[in-house]
Structure 1
Amino acid sequence: MAFAGPKIWPALLLAAAEEVLRPASVDCWDRPDWADFRQKAQGFARQGWPKADAELEAMSRALVEKWRWVVCKEDCRTTEHLTWFFVEDWGAKCSESANFDRYLVTHYFRNRGLSYSARKSEYCHFGFITALVITAHFEFPNSVSKAGRLLFLAFVLLGDFLAFDWLSSSSWPVDSLMILLNVHMVSQELITGSQLEFVRAQGQLPGVRGAAFLREQSRWLGTSEAAKPVARGSFSRTLRIWQLDAHTALAGEAKTMLTRFGDEVEVQFLGNSLASNVCRNYDLCPSGEDKELLQKLLDRYYRAKEPFLVAKRGFEEALGDRLSREADVLMCSQPLFWCRFLLGLQKPLLLYVGLPVMWDLREEDKEGWAEDFFRILRGDRHVVIAMSVFTARAVHWQFGAGIPVLRFLGLHSNAHFAPWRNESVLVSRFGTSGALSECMLDSFAAANRHWFPLRFVQMEAVLFEEHLARTQSEAYGNAKSWKDHTAEIKVPGMPYAKLVSHRAAICLPYDITIFLFHELYSANMPLFVPKDLWRWLIGPHTSPQMEFRHPGADEDVSRPRSSPFYASIHRPMGVEQALEWSTFSDWAMLPQVFYFQGVPDLFLQLMDAEALHDASAKMRAFNDEELGTGEEELISAVQNWRRVAQRLAFAVTGETGDDACKEP
């Protein structure tokens, strides 16, 4: 289907982006004191941040003194002095945004037991952040500690999960990289100019140059599984995989790929996913009786706090005889740790690594699980694969084993891009980090309506409408509009055909990978992602709580040497680690993804109908190659799943030749 809309030449994007109108909430052009300060700050930055500017220094200090109270009380010397008026001020500006209430009011106020009210003021958020940074600049080198406190306040104003960091969409001359780098590093002066740009350049986007880097990182050859034996020939009996998880997507992916592309190995999945809605998408839900049993067994560990070995014995007693008869392979994905309860059954394991290895277990059980997982990685009877390059690299860093990557494709959606809703852009589901996006996108659209005709559709709105249509009802719970429902909207099946009917989709990452991103990518839908990926990948995969390094993980210069667990909510992240690791995310490696540097750049790229059409066609060609229909069959996803099937067949029989494929 052809795209409508004016043609915007890529060479004009940067210059044109400067002409896109910024809302008053962003640039504060409607308040003379802030507008004057912005113009002087812009000129100051163009001059290279000189050591002295008496007029600008006086202006910035006056603004800091006047508005410091929006973020802290008393003397601002401890985090206990922090206050959240700036959130309430944004609440007044974003009163029409359901997501502001759903995420930010909940995070800052409801979860803390604080009262909230939207409060309109003359405060300018991005202007005040700029004033703090400029004032810190003038504090160096005489008062490094005071400069550090000012920069820390600027960091706080970026928000938890950097939710209020839309500086790149503004005309203010500072950004989050400058702030975080200066907070994280000890220096005698503000890091700006060429030093800052050198660090920024470390965050690469290999997918811009094509699929070569992704394919190099996804090769089976050279991984821990490549050195293990496989069964060859046809497998005359059905390979039965009994799976257990709390989120079905990875088991669903394995089922889709192994049952469709297992080649000479016929596979049957015995579903036991405890994700009530998502499991239906893949037909992997357990019976009501089995679900109740499994939940009771898990509750002994998680709720009753039984020691691991005691809870493990409960699994063995309840499931041992049955699984010895019914299952050939046991599979876990999210979380992997659940398979530790089943290790005593002496069955081959298929572990599909999605969430961190140390996800969802008690602190006292980390070392024991690490030892078990280390042995699993090196055992011939078990198969361990990763859903992304980032995940595989993290396991390599933690345990010294490079496991193969079988990237999540999402073919189960059976969706194909057909933009008959060409005037609208889908905004995919996001986390707290993207909570201000609805307000920002709508305010920019309103300011530029004279030339920008597109509108933004929130995914929650699509899901809400789908629920009403399926149930023939007028409400979801007590909500008659998607904006009235403050929790996540869940439906039994995703309306993929509706999702891919929009002109394009905007994805705001809240972890190193998101399943819907891959599902839309496989449908050949144009996808837009923020260019500064490093600052969006704050989630379980980068949390310091997940960090654990096994003594057997020796140094290897071929992989990132820094820890992947660099980002938490309340403390500045290691920027250089974030830049290095973001390169290995699917967001950065997949070809034909559109990257935008702020909302103005996004708007202009969305209007380039020819570029969208061209990208969709190239995505289709790439996706066909991944399925082995192009020239890259030997390193295609299909070929790797066939290898998994052959590895599992060996794990069950212990034989590599044709005899491994006969009935015992």
Structure 2
Amino acid sequence: MSRRGSRRNSLRPARPPGHERILLLPTEHYYKTGKASMIPWPRWLPRPGIIVCAVLSFLLQQVLQVFGRDEDENNRAATSRSAGSTGGALQSSSRTKKQHVKYAECQHRYTDYRPDFFDCEGSPSWDAFMDLVRQAAKLKFQMIPPELYNMAHKIIEIWDAKPYPPQDFHNMLCDPRKVWNPLHAEEYQPFCLYGFIYALLIRARVFMSEGSKDLVKMAKEDLSYAVTCLGKEGSVDFLDSSAVGATILDFYINIGETEFYTYDEYVKKFPVPEPPPDEFGMLHYNPQPPLEEQQLHKLFFHEDRRRTLHAAVFGTHATLSLETVHMVQEFVLRDQVELKPVFYGLEPRWCGILGMCNRGDPAFAKFFKDAEQDPYGDDFTWEKMEQQIEAVYFRDEELKKSDFLLCTEPLVGCLLLQKLWRERMQKTLPVLGYLGVALLNSVPPLDLVKFWDLLDGRKPGTDTILYVNNRILREQIYYQTGIVAPYVRAHGLYTKSVYSPQIDRVLFWRAPLFVYPTLRCAIWQFLKAMRDRPASPATTALGELPSPEGEVAGKPSTSSDDNPDVSNSKFPFTIRFLDEKESMDYSVVAQHRSVILLPWDHALMTFYELYSMSVPLFLPKIEWIYRFVYQRGQLSVGEPLYQSVHPRHKRPRAKFASYDYPEPTDNSTNKESVGPMSVQTGLSSAKAARGVTEDMLRRGLDENLGLVEVRAYMVAALDLIMDMQYFLTAAENKTTEADSYTSAGKVKRYTKANRDQLDLQSIEYSDEPWHPYTPFQMSPRDSNEWNRMRKGGWWLRRGVRVDAMRYWFQYSDFYRFPALQYFDNIPDLFCRLQSADLPWITNAMHKYNDETLLESTQYWTDAVVRLLS
């Protein structure tokens, strides 16, 4: 998370010329004054002045929309997409003809700067092949001429044995010493990664239509290998920035199939249902009964009211915990009652980063951090958790003063603390939960039944109120328990900053994804081509640019001038990459022209912080986001423990839930195999891993290699050794008995949750009409296999998995929030950064921020009053 300065010193500076049309809305008044008096107050409180302000603000906005734009702007919808007043990604673009021409010219200009090795340019043989591939791509690969097939087959014969194909491409991408030198005299020399990948696609496309079982199997192997060649988690997949313009999803959804579709064709042919519009209003989904005037008066205005409330803030996620404190203090209690929070579960570093220094006993943080490392260990049992909580209770005097508990994660710890309060103090500790991770997060795997009993022991609406910060989690909890935990949007207003661009610099936010450093390198390659002169990725001319590993020396940034800007006549902005080790004050972030963000989870506090600042946000197209949030996102892992359903709850019936019923499989169907890996598969996989490991080690011993190359080979070899160990464990049929490990992480041993997943036919369902997919169906359901399956591409294959992803992504805030800007590829990113109407975007974000803040305030007020009155 970003480093914060003083919470009161980041007031909005004057806007530069060109941004006068950005409106001063109620939330902006809050940023400027540090007071919430202009925030729309709940409708059940008589504040007529607020109503007048809101009406005037609305009328002013309408006047500016009518008179503040030229004809093109009046006829233009956002380049982002919207569904009514709430949607972000459903909106279609309706540009004027003039704007279409201008944008097309922009795209054409930037596509001219593609790196040569993206399209294998300069070699006669590669050029001839790629020309035919481009022609086939225009026809959606439905017609493959014999000449193209023969060329593809020859390319595969030449390069099929090449070890670790992505390495050369990565080196050319990120190492300025490596260049593309096509050879004219020899066919298909040197190796061109994208050319080889397209050759695999062409041959697979032909084999798929032949009808032979053996050829279909070979097609499946070709497509699977093509995906593997695009690097770990598709980290060198920039196919859509090449002249052909295919995507990794074109490969994934055809694995094991006999009828070929591009991903775009598949989406059109097999649409998923759209959720009803009223699903997305916070208050519409679960309207709260009006509070009684007496309750409000007693808590906020009575002369004998409590002037101070002590809150224990229980959670391991720092900014989610800070969100709860800030919303309760600033928008509920305000200046009527002082909130004194004490934080439990946070690491000490958050004191310096977020100013959350009022920490309680640190034992909670250590206990749950250790539990993450070994959830099946002897130190993480239900009894040990109770003992740890009881020990903190007796040691920490501040904890005993708590009037209520603000809970983020894990919920099990909060409920155990509430239970202890009831038993030791003979009184109720009200719990206000604001959840952002799986309901069963940090529940001891062998004590699941105890958690369900604990959950049943609460008194909903009286001593416990649960909210969630994302809609997918809301549906997961309902599916598991029947509990409706309303969605309440996170705002991140504790940043006390607002968009105030001072510089023509674009900030690229860091992301814990393998594609982040390689995308930095790819962007640098385009910018280098624009400058038409040699440059090094280490120079600061483009901001902090990547080394071959995509890292720069991190340092705190307290000024937007810490890194020098260098202008570029062909692309007028500097792109500033934020490094993993680097921190930046929110006031500095707000000075940037816009921010590029790669989402890596379903609900990111960083996203809400930036959106509430009204900073224009540029996100990759939805097909890219699928790969990030479903591969890394905590809510989409296929962990049976997290998917467990309350034994006394009848889950609603999803139309396609039967897909998850186990059935015998010999890999002849598209359904995943259920249960442990077979002995034969384990042995053959271990043998293959051993062979590739030996090759990696031999290549790493080459005395002509530099330190970076040697390290890359050693890391690859270590990954393969870990995978080989897992395959041998599987061959011994021990993966159900003990934890095992792969390069992708731990593979947990079986528990009751796994065995329950193997007996889905005995489950009883309610007759309630519901979603077509379960909210867990976007991922394979066997925890012992999910890491391996994801690595092998199971999770993006055609059918229910990818359809469930498409359906549930409609519930994501990355999809619903208005005015988000989506880019298709790297040239498209440059065009959108240059052509975006930033005042319109910021106004739309302001408007949505105000609308949702009103609803959020009502929820937070309702919860606090009900729990404390």
Alignment CA distance shift 1:203-1:278 (3 Å) = farther
Please say which of residues 21-30 and 121-130 is displaced more in the overlay.
121-130
Alpha-carbon distance change, 50 to 245 in structure 1, aligned in 2, over 3 angstroms:
closer
Match of 2:511 among 430, 436, 451: 430
Alpha-carbon contact 2:405-2:431 (below 8 Å) kept: yes
Other-structure match for 2:417: 342
Match of 2:841 in 1: 615
Superposed displacement of residue 592, structure 1: 0.7
The alpha-carbon distance between structure 1 residues 343 and 35, as it changes in their structure 2 partners (threshold 3 A), is: farther
Question: Shift in Å at residue 227 of structure 1?
Answer: 7.1
Distance across 2 between alignment mates of 1:421 and 1:464: 21
Q: Is the 8 A contact 1:41 1:172 kept in 2?
A: yes
Partner in structure 2 of residue 581 of structure 1 = 808
Give the distance between the partners of 2:404 and 2:434, measured in 1 at CA: 13
| 8 Å contact kept, 1:500–1:523 | yes
Partner of residue 643 from structure 2, selected from 537, 541, 547: 547
How far apart are the structure 2 equivalents of 1:372 and 1:90?
Answer: 51
Residue 379 of structure 1, CA deviation: 6.4
Greater shift after overlay, 500-509 or 618-627?
A: 618-627
Alignment of 1:170 onto 2:170:
no
Match of 1:521 among 603, 607, 611: 611
Q: Is the 8 A contact 2:468 2:486 kept in 1?
A: yes
Displacement, 1:370?
Answer: 4.5
Percentage identity across aligned positions? 22
User: Is 1:305 equivalent to 2:305 in the alignment?
Assistant: no
Equivalent in 27, 33, 37 of residue 119 of structure 2: 27
Match of 2:312 in 1: 242
Equivalent-residue separation in structure 2 for 1:122 and 1:566 (angstroms)? 40
Deviation, 1:193, is 7.7
- The whole-number CA distance in structure 1 between the counterparts of 2:808 and 2:257 is 24
1:160–1:455 Cα change, 3 Å: same
Query: What are the superposed Cα offsets for residues 51-109 of structure 1, whole Å, 9 maximum, x if unpaired?
Result: 55211111111222222234xxxxxxxxxxxx634135413431269xxxxxxxxxxxx
Choose from 449, 471, 474 the match for 1:392. 474
Size of the aligned set, in residue pairs, is: 576
Q: d(CA) in 2 for partners of 1:307 and 1:520? A: 39
Decide which of 127, 130, 139 is 2:195's aligned counterpart: 127
Shift of 1:395: 2.2
Q: Using the alignment, how far apart are the partners of 1:374 and 1:501 within structure 2?
A: 49
Give, in whole Å, the separation in 2 of the partners of 1:297 and 1:590. Answer: 33
Report the alpha carbon displacement of residue 382 of structure 1 after superposing the two structures with TM.
Answer: 0.7
Q: 1:44 aligns with which of 129, 136, 141?
A: 136
Partner residue, 2:388: 314
Q: Which residue of 2 aligns with 1:90?
A: 170
Partner secondary structure for residue 348 of structure 2 = coil
Paired residue secondary structure (1:234): helix
Letter in 2 for 1:401: I
Structure 1 unaligned blocks of 5 or more = 71-82, 98-120, 207-211, 473-484, 629-635, 650-659
2:273, 2:507 → 1: CA distance?
27
**Counterparts in 2 of 1:318 and 1:554: CA distance versus 1, 3 Å:** same
CA–CA separation in structure 2 for the residues paired with 1:393 and 1:27: 44
CA-to-aligned-CA distance 1:569-602 (integer Å, 9 cap, x gap)? 4142121121112211111111111011111111
* Alpha-carbon distance between aligned partners in 2 of 1:2 and 1:201, rounded to the nearest angstrom: 45
Residues 1:202 and 1:520: Cα distance change in structure 2 (over 3 Å): same
Q: Alignment partner for residue 773 of structure 2, among 547, 558, 561? A: 561
Conservation of the 8 A alpha-carbon contact between 1:386 and 1:406: yes
In the superposition, the TM-score normalised over structure 2's length comes to 0.60
Q: Does the CA contact (< 8 Å) of 1:130 and 1:173 recur in 2? A: no
Q: Is the 8 A contact 1:220 1:226 kept in 2?
A: yes
Measured in 2, the distance between the counterparts of 1:603 and 1:293 equals 46
SS at match of 1:262: helix
Give distance in 2, aligned partners of 1:542 and 1:466.
Answer: 33
Q: Which has the higher contact order (CA 8 A, sep 6+)?
A: 1
1:413 and 1:195 map into 2 onto residues whose CA distance is 43
1:396: Cα distance to partner? Answer: 2.6
More displaced stretch, 570-579 vs 460-469: 460-469
Distance 1:293 1:535, change over 3 A: closer
Question: How far apart are the structure 2 equivalents of 1:318 and 1:443?
Answer: 54
Structure-2 separation of matches of 1:297 and 1:174 = 44
Larger radius of gyration: 2
Cα 1:612–1:139 shift into 2, 3 Å: same
Q: CA RMSD in A?
A: 3.7
Task: Give SS of 2:811's match.
Answer: coil
State whether structure 2 residue 421 is matched by structure 1 residue 329: no
Match of 1:156 among 208, 228, 243: 228
CA contact (8 A) 2:554 2:579 kept: no
Deviations 1:469-498 (CA, angstroms, capped at 9, x unpaired): 99x9xxxxxxxxxxxx9994165xx41121
- Whether 1:508 and 2:598 are equivalent positions in the alignment is yes
Separation of aligned partners in 1, 2:484 and 2:104: 41
- Aligned residue for 1:410? 492
Offset of residue 445 of structure 1: 1.8
The structure 2 residue matched to 1:190, chosen from 260, 269, 272, is 260
- Quick check: 1:627 aligned with 2:691? no
Which residue identity is paired with 1:312?
E
Distance 1:601 1:66, change over 3 A: same
Q: Is the 8 A contact 2:652 2:769 kept in 1?
A: no
Q: CA deviation at 1:394?
A: 2.8
Mapped contact 1:535–1:578 kept (Cα < 8 A) = no
The equivalent residue for 1:116 is: none
Q: Distance in 2 between matches of 1:469 and 1:397?
A: 48
Cα distance in 1 between the residues matched to 2:813 and 2:578: 30
Q: What residue identity is the alignment partner of 1:256?
A: H
- Answer with 249-258 or 614-623: which moved more: 614-623
2:206 matched to 1:138?
yes
When residues 589 and 222 of structure 1 are mapped into structure 2, their CA distance, relative to the original with a 3 A threshold, is: closer
Q: Hey, what's the Cα distance between the residues in 2 that align with 1:41 and 1:332?
A: 55
Shift of 1:456: 5.6
The secondary structure found in structure 2 opposite 1:290 is coil
SS at match of 1:9: helix
Mapped pair 1:68 → 2:160? yes
Structure 1 residue 161: deviation in Å? 2.8
Call closer, same or farther: CA 1:11–1:560 in 2, change over 3 Å. Answer: farther
Matched, 1:570 2:652: no
Q: Which residue matches 2:324? A: 254
AA of the residue aligned to 1:503: R
Change (3 A) 1:393 1:311: closer
1:581-634 per-residue CA deviation (whole Å, 9 max, x = no partner) reads: 22111111111110111111111111115x123212222232233333xxxxxx
Is residue 335–residue 360 contact of structure 1 (8 Å, CA) maintained in 2? yes
From the superposition, tell whether residues 151 and 310 of structure 1 become closer, same or farther in structure 2 (CA, over 3 Å).
same
Q: Which residue of 1 aligns with 2:49?
A: none
CA distance, structure 1, for counterparts of residue 850 and residue 810 of structure 2? 24
What SS does structure 1 have at the residue aligned with 2:432? Answer: strand
Alignment of 1:480-495 (within 5 A): 488-489=580-581, 491=583, 494-495=584-585
Q: SS of the residue aligned with 1:305?
A: coil
Deviation for aligned residue 1:506: 0.5
- Aligned in 2, Cα 1:221/1:195: closer, same or farther, shift over 3 Å? closer
Which residue identity does 2:864 align to in structure 1?
A
Q: Which residue number corresponds to residue 525 of structure 2?
A: 443
Task: Check conservation: 2:407, 2:434, Cα contact below 8 A.
Answer: yes
Q: 1:311 to 1:558 in 2, by over 3 A?
A: closer
Tell me if structure 1 keeps the 8 A contact 2:137–2:244. no
Give 1:547 deviation, angstroms: 3.0
Consecutive unaligned residues of structure 2, counting only runs of 5 or more, are 1-15, 20-72, 74-97, 178-188, 300-304, 423-428, 534-540, 563-576, 654-767, 780-786, 796-800
Give distance in 2, aligned partners of 1:534 and 1:377: 38
Aligned to 1:220: 283
